[in-house]
Every structure is written in structure tokens, then in C-alpha cells.
């Protein structure tokens, strides 16, 4: 034991820490150094010597602790104070204005509230936990709820303060922001790696992610990573500011780097003016940006506006730059077989970088789509990527007078099981009709285990492939006959991982009839139809005995769905799977739920297309919460059709029948409108649009 340090030495250490951190702040955050490199080194060496002599003086916020931590064996998981959200996108001024309109329908004050426009840094979101102003933890976003603890790596970033300056917030807060690699740093890093014969990084974002997730902090320390702060999560504690703009100022006052280009805007016109200026600046920035994040300025409006699906807040949106384009060669068009037997064509491309990622594959939807775009293997094509949206093949890029290759044709046999394929009249998709096709079984199991279906924890695609390959699983019901012994005989399973998976499978038995029915993956039986059928029949047995007519009698179930379901049960293979599920103790019954009374009582809604912010389930829940019913198909009994993007035949049918149509925003505003109009169910035969 070394004797306690005399008071002067402790005071000197504190003084050195303060001087060095101030120098770091001036150099890395303010970009205005006042200390020479030599003086900085002198102070640093003195502090290190002092700490070596008196280890008890080595505090967690000492600048010597930025480097030199031992490599870790793995990155630990760590939970965030509150979910780290993602953002919805807007690509055009119209879409940006539509965002405001939707918000203003929910909360009137939005229009006059003002915005903050911030550069959207293309890096990695992280959360820094400060406890009484001292950095105690740094984590990656992970899945939004739980990230990876990269504290030791983040400590190596000189622009991240180890202790907040000025008046730091008391207690525990999370500062959120983006870690990124400068473009110049990225170039240098890649040159160095190439010289060392190492693989180069595809783009700064990947390089930043790789650098941050290192087990050895000294590797991270050698990478030119930087940070911009843009948000604060104070948990239950009250935020010390009223607006996003004041928050940015406060973060800056605490010594955190805040992007200097962020601007307070009175309205969307000013936001759009900012975007134009910012776009012109883009090429001169030493970091990658993919657009502007627009945030409603007053913080009190944020909880009022809320979060869509627990993922995307309504109070912020990403206004993305125009999509990135690239030209490459279409090597071939291949075909995958999906769960329903649908043949899904996709493009195999000469790898090409588009907007910062290397694209090798792109989906092509269907045969007609390929014909319409006139894509032919061997030719040059234009590839488009808009933000984080999936890459698309736009069309051929032909030279003048170029001879064309042969037109694409769907294979006439299933590429997996060789059964002759079928293309039903009026449909754009081609199908493999063999329900025992290995590809169909594989995707069927993947669907069965997926989130909205049986949600089997720990059962991913890789494991499903393994079970099928080893003959342990031939259909979805076989999952319930997996046991410890069978799992432990496979590579990659230990006692713990086997037990976790078995627990996940066990847990899934009780999801109920609606989920189980949806999980079976019957064509046309989506989540909504499954819920309606489960509610109407209450047990799988009753549903199996039901005739098509009895199913159609259920409000919201159309003939196509009913016939598909009847055909499904008529196939012996499927009946056997259902029997096996029942024998395995999977719950195939449902309790009847009490209907809610509300402004939508007596009204029937149908939802079609992709809504701008709500998922299908959320929209249905909204309707039901207000007393309404959601049906699957449009009939004369439908009161409203809620229309999203890419609406198809349901919209046409609604127009034909004169059914009232609503957008998402109108749906959200409807309870109030109905209440204003006196409420109650509509008088029979009155066109709704008139009555409102
Ligand atoms: S706000 C709701 N502000 O963009 C809060 N995000 O697409 C979401 N990003 O995960 C974050 N710059 O990684 C915000 N100025 C900025 C941003 C920003 C970049 C990233 C962030 C987020 C992603 C959402």
C-alpha cells in the first residue's frame, strides 16, 4: 500500500486534469487551441507520473484514462435509459409539408412552434451516460432498447468530455449523438490498411462502426473518430431547457461538440431555405451527411405528438438528400421461392457503391416488372438508393445502337423442387404449387417463428436451416418436439443456448389462436383476417369445420380469404400439421373480447396500402379503441376505407361502391369530427361524406 498522497499532490493532479481537459476541449471541440503541443505533452506526462506514483489519484475522468485500458473479451450488453428511436423520412418539400400537416392535426400548436434543422450525420448513434456530470458509460444504439457497452472505446475520443463543464445536470442523464469518421481520416485509414495488406472499409460509416466496436480500446484510439451531440434523455428528471435549440446550446455549454451548422427556423420555408444552403455546402464538409433532421423546437410538444410504433417520433423527421445513383452491370436475374411458393426474382449485380454502401443484389418484384423495366442480363443498368431504403434497379443504360440480349422469362419449373410452376390468371406472381417444396417449408418456418407470428426467441434463419438440413424439422409443428438432446448433438449449441431456445419455443405455445393462425402462413390470411377469424370462431377446430359460407359471414372476411383457408385445411399435409400443433400443446383457442363503446361504434373500417406513419396493427388498434370494427375487404357494409400508399383493388372497389375514403391524418382526426357532428352511428344509406 502506498501512503496517501499529500494534499498538494491531490490538488496538483486535479489541476492537471482540468488543464488537459480544457486543452482537449479547445482543440477538439472549439477548434481553437491555446496550448502548444509541447506544453500539452508536458502536462500529460506530469499527470501520468503522478498517477503512477499515487494510483489512488487516478480518477475515472482523468485524461490518462482515455487510452490504455486492457482489451476486453467481448462487448457487454447494456440497456438505455429510454429507447433510442429512429426517424421517418421525407424526400420532397411536399412530403415535409405533409409531415407538418399530419402533426398539426394532432396538435394544433405545431404550425406556429418553429423548428430546429440539423445536419443528419451519417455515422452511428450512441448514448453517453453522465452521472453528476461524470462520464460513466457509453453505448451503441443496438436494437434501440439495448446496446453494446463501448465505454472504454468512447473514452478515447478526445472530443467527448469525461466530465461535463459549467453546471452539469445532477443525477443520471444520457447525452445522445452521432459518432463518425471524418472523410480525410477515412482516406488515411484506408491508405494505411491497404499498405498493410488489410481489407479497406467500404465507407466512413462502416469504418466508424468497426472502429467503435473494437475489443481493444487502443485500436479505437488510433482511429480518427469524432462526435456530435444532438439529444438528451433525462429519464424522470426534468430537462433544464424548454426547446431543442436551448438544448443544443446547453450541450455546447457542457463542453460537448454540437454541429455548428444547426439552425433555428421559424417555419418550414426557413427549413427549406436552410436545406438549400446546406446542400450547397455538403461537398465541402469533412464528414458524410445524408440529409437534414427537422425537429419541432418546443420540447413540450414532443410527448404530445408521441412516437409511432415505439420507433419513430412524430416530432422529428429526416429530410433526405436526393437519392444516389450508380451504373453497373446486371450479371443475372435469379429466382427465390418464398413461403407461399411465390417465385421472387432478384438482380445479381456487379458490386457497385451507391450512396455509401456496396450493392450486389436488388429485388425485382415480378416478371411484369422486369419486362416493364426491360431488364436483360449482361447489360448495364442504373441503380438507385435513397437513404437507407433498399436499392432499386431503375432501368437499362444502353449505348446507342447496342444489340440487346434475350428478354427475361420466368423459369417454368420451380428452381428448388423442379415442380412445374403456375401463374394464376389475373395475378402478377408465379407460384410453385408444391406445398412440400423445401424452400416453402423453410420460409414457412421462418414466418412461423417471426415477430408478428409465434415470436420464438432465439430461432433465427441460420438455426432453422440447420434443423431442416439435419432432418430434425419437417414442418412447423416439429419445432415443438425439439429437446435438449437433439440440440446438444448439433454444432453451435451449448447447454445454455439450447435451454434458451427451448424456453423460447415453450413460451410461444401460448400466443393464442389469432397468432397461431397467422403463423400458419395461409395465403391471404394476414394479421387482420387471422384476428377476425379467431374472434369469430374461437377455436381452430371450429374454424376447420367451417364452410366457406360461414367464414364469409364474418364481417371483414372476403371470399378469396375464405376459399384459401378452406383449400389450406383440405390439404391432408396441413391438417396433419395443425393436429401435431394441438398435440404439442400449442394454444389454438381464443377468448371473446368485449367490444369497446366509442365514436366509431357501429362503424366498419377497411385499411389498405401503406400508411405514412402507422402500421396496420396500430391503425386497427386505433379504430378498435374508438369502438369501431376493422374488416379485411370492402363491401357495401364498409363505412370507411383508410387509404395508404400503393393501395390496390380495395381502393377501386371502394370507389365503385361509393365508400368514403380517408387518409391516415383524417382517420386520426375522425373521432373528434364525429363527436363534433353529434356522434353516434350513421343513419343507414346516408353518404358519410355528406353527413360530415
Ligand atoms: S435525432 C428521435 N438528430 O439518424 C431521435 N438523429 O435515422 C432520433 N442522426 O438513429 C435521433 N444526425 O443515428 C438525430 N442531428 C441528428 C442526427 C441524427 C444523425 C441519425 C441517428 C438516428 C438516425 C435516424
| pLDDT tens, position by position, 216-228 | 888 888 889 999 9
Distances 127 to 124, 218, 312 between C-alpha atoms, Å = 10, 21, 17
Integer-rounded Cα radius of gyration of the chain: 30
The whole-number pLDDT of residue 592 equals 62
Å from CA of 644 to ligand 1 middle: 26
Q: Is 295 a catalytic residue?
A: no
Candidates 120, 137, 320, 384; catalytic one: 120
Best mutation site among 81, 85, 126, 230 for ligand 1 pocket (most ligand atoms within 8 Å of CB): 230
Cell, residue 589? 383457442
The ligand 1 atom nearest the CA atom of 315:
2
Task: Look up residue 145 and give its DSSP letter.
Answer: S
Per-residue pLDDT at 388? 46
- Going from the Cα of 317 to the center of ligand 1, the distance in angstroms, rounded, reads 9
Q: Which residues of the chain have pLDDT under 50?
A: 1, 387-388, 679-692
In this structure, are residues 28 and 258 in contact, taking their beta carbons and an 8 Å threshold? no
Atom of ligand 1 nearest to the CA of 86: 24
Q: Which atom of ligand 1 is nearest to the CA of 118?
A: 15
Expressed in angstroms and rounded, the spacing between residue 670 Cα and the centre of ligand 1 is 32
pLDDT value of position 685: 32
User: What pLDDT is attached to residue 520?
Assistant: 94
Which of 452, 496, 108, 125 has its CA nearest to residue 304?
108
For residue 308, what are the contacts with CB-CB under 8 A and spacing of at least 6?
88, 314, 613, 614, 615, 618
What pLDDT, in 10s, does the model give residues 104-124? 999 999 999 999 999 999 999
DSSP state of 429: -
Using CA positions, which residue lies closest to atom 12 of ligand 1? 120
How many Å apart are CA 529 and CA 557, to the nearest integer? 7
Q: For the chain, what's the residue count?
A: 692
Bridge partners of residue 320, in order along the sequence? 291
| Pocket lining: 85 vs ligand 1, CB cutoff 6 Å | yes
| Angle separating helix axes 93-106 and 664-676, nearest 10 degrees | 30
All residues at 6 or more sequence positions from 420 whose CB lies less than 8 Å from its CB, including other chains: 412, 413, 414
- By most ligand atoms within 8 Å of CB, the mutation choice from 118, 123, 178, 310 for ligand 1 is 178
Q: How far apart are the first and last CA of the chain?
A: 83
Which DSSP symbol is given to 525? -
Cell numbers given for 360 = 450486389
Residue 11's contacts (CB-CB under 8 Å, 6 or more residues apart) are none
Question: Is any ligand 1 atom within 6 A of the Cβ of residue 664?
Answer: no
Q: For ligand 1, what atom is nearest to the CA of residue 259?
A: 15
Can you tell me the distance from the alpha carbon of 517 to that of 499, in angstroms, rounded to the nearest whole number?
Answer: 26
313 CB near ligand 1 (under 6 Å): yes
Distance 126 CA to ligand 1 centre (A): 10
How many angstroms does the Cα of residue 550 sit away from the middle of ligand 1?
A: 50
The H or E element that residue 638 is part of is none
Distance CA 439, CA 454 (A): 20
- Containing 432, the helix (H) or strand (E) segment is none
Q: What is the whole-number distance in angstroms between the Cα of residue 318 and the centre of ligand 1? A: 8
SS3 617: helix
How are beta strands 640-643 and 660-662 bridged, if at all?
Answer: parallel
Q: DSSP letters of 552-618?
A: HTSTT--HHHHHHHHHHHHSHHHHHHHHHHHHTT---B-PPPPPPPSTTTT-EEEEESB-SS--HHH
Amino acid at each position: 500500500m502506498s501512503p496517501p498522497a499529500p494534499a498538494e499532490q491531490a490538488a496538483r493532479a486535479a489541476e492537471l486534469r482540468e488543464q488537459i481537459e480544457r486543452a482537449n476541449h479547445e482543440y477538439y471541440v472549439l477548434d481553437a487551441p491555446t496550448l502548444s503541443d509541447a506544453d500539452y505533452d508536458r502536462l500529460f506526462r506530469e499527470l501520468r507520473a503522478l498517477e503512477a506514483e499515487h494510483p489512488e489519484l487516478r480518477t475515472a475522468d482523468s485524461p490518462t484514462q482515455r487510452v490504455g485500458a486492457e482489451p476486453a473479451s467481448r462487448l457487454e450488453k447494456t440497456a438505455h435509459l429510454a429507447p433510442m428511436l429512429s426517424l421517418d423520412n421525407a424526400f420532397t418539400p411536399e412530403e415535409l409539408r405533409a409531415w407538418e400537416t399530419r402533426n398539426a392535426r394532432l396538435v394544433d400548436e405545431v404550425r406556429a412552434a418553429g423548428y430546429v434543422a440539423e445536419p443528419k450525420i451519417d455515422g452511428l448513434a450512441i448514448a453517453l451516460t453522465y452521472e453528476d456530470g461524470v462520464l460513466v458509460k457509453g453505448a451503441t444504439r443496438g436494437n434501440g432498447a439495448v446496446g453494446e457497452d463501448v465505454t472504454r472505446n468512447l473514452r478515447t475520443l478526445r472530443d467527448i468530455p469525461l466530465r461535463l463543464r459549467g453546471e452539469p445536470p445532477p443525477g443520471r442523464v444520457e447525452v445522445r449523438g452521432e459518432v463518425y469518421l471524418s472523410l480525410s481520416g477515412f482516406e488515411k485509414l484506408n491508405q494505411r490498411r491497404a499498405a498493410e495488406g488489410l481489407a479497406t472499409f467500404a465507407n466512413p460509416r462502416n469504418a466508424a462502426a468497426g472502429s467503435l466496436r473494437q475489443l481493444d480500446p487502443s485500436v479505437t484510439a488510433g482511429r480518427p473518430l469524432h462526435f456530435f451531440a444532438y439529444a438528451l434523455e433525462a429519464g424522470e428528471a426534468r430537462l433544464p431547457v424548454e426547446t431543442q435549440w436551448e438544448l443544443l446550446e446547453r450541450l455546447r455549454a457542457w463542453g460537448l461538440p454540437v454541429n455548428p451548422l444547426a439552425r433555428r427556423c421559424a417555419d418550414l420555408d426557413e427549413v427549406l431555405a436552410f436545406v438549400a444552403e446546406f446542400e450547397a455546402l455538403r461537398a465541402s464538409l469533412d464528414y458524410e451527411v445524408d440529409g437534414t433532421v427537422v425537429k419541432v423546437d418546443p420540447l413540450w410538444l414532443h410527448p404530445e405528438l408521441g412516437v409511432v410504433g415505439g420507433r419513430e417520433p412524430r416530432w422529428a423527421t429526416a429530410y433526405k438528400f436526393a437519392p444516389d445513383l450508380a451504373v453497373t452491370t446486371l450479371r443475372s436475374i435469379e429466382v427465390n421461392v418464398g413461403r407461399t411458393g411465390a417465385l421472387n426474382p432478384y438482380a445479381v449485380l456487379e458490386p457497385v457503391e451507391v450512396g455509401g454502401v456496396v450493392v450486389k443484389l436488388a429485388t425485382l418484384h415480378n416478371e411484369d416488372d422486369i419486362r416493364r423495366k426491360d431488364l436483360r442480363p449482361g447489360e448495364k443498368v442504373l441503380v438507385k438508393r435513397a437513404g437507407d431504403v433498399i436499392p432499386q434497379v431503375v432501368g437499362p443504360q444502353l449505348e446507342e445502337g447496342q444489340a440487346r440480349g434475350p428478354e427475361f422469362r420466368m423459369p417454368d419449373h420451380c428452381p428448388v423442387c423442379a415442380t412445374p410452376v403456375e401463374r394464376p390468371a389475373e395475378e402478377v406472381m408465379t407460384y410453385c404449387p408444391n406445398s412440400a417444396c423445401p424452400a416453402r417449408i423453410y420460409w414457412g418456418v421462418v414466418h412461423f417463428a417471426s415477430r408478428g407470428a409465434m415470436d420464438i426467441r432465439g430461432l433465427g434463419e441460420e438455426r432453422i436451416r440447420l434443423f431442416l438440413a439435419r432432418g430434425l424439422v419437417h414442418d412447423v409443428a416439429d419445432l415443438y418436439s425439439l429437446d435438449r438432446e437433439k440440440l446438444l448433438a448439433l454444432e453451435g449449441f451449448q447447454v445454455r443456448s439450447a435451454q434458451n431456445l427451448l424456453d423460447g419455443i415453450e413460451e410461444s405455445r401460448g400466443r393464442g389462436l389469432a397468432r397461431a393462425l397467422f403463423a400458419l402462413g395461409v395465403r391471404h390470411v394476414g394479421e387482420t383476417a387471422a384476428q377476425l377469424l379467431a374472434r369469430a370462431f374461437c377455436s381452430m377446430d371450429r374454424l376447420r369445420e367451417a364452410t366457406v359460407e360461414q367464414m364469409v359471414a364474418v364481417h371483414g372476411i372476403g371470399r378469396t380469404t375464405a376459399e384459401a383457408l378452406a383449400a389450406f385445411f383440405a390439404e391432408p399435409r396441413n391438417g396433419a400439421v395443425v393436429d401435431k400443433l394441438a398435440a404439442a400443446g400449442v394454444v389454438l383457442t381464443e377468448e371473446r373480447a368485449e367490444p369497446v363503446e366509442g365514436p366509431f361504434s357501429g362503424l366498419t373500417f377497411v385499411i389498405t396500402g401503406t400508411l405514412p406513419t402507422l402500421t396496420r396493427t396500430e391503425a386497427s388498434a386505433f379504430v378498435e379503441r374508438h369502438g369501431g370494427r376493422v374488416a379485411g375487404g370492402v363491401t357495401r357494409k364498409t363505412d370507411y376505407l383508410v387509404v395508404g400508399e400503393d393501395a390496390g383493388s380495395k381502393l377501386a372497389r371502394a370507389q365503385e361502391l361509393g365508400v368514403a375514403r380517408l387518409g391516415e391524418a383524417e382517420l386520426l382526426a375522425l373521432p373528434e369530427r364525429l363527436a363534433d357532428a353529434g356522434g353516434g352511428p350513421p343513419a343507414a344509406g346516408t353518404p358519410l361524406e355528406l353527413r360530415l
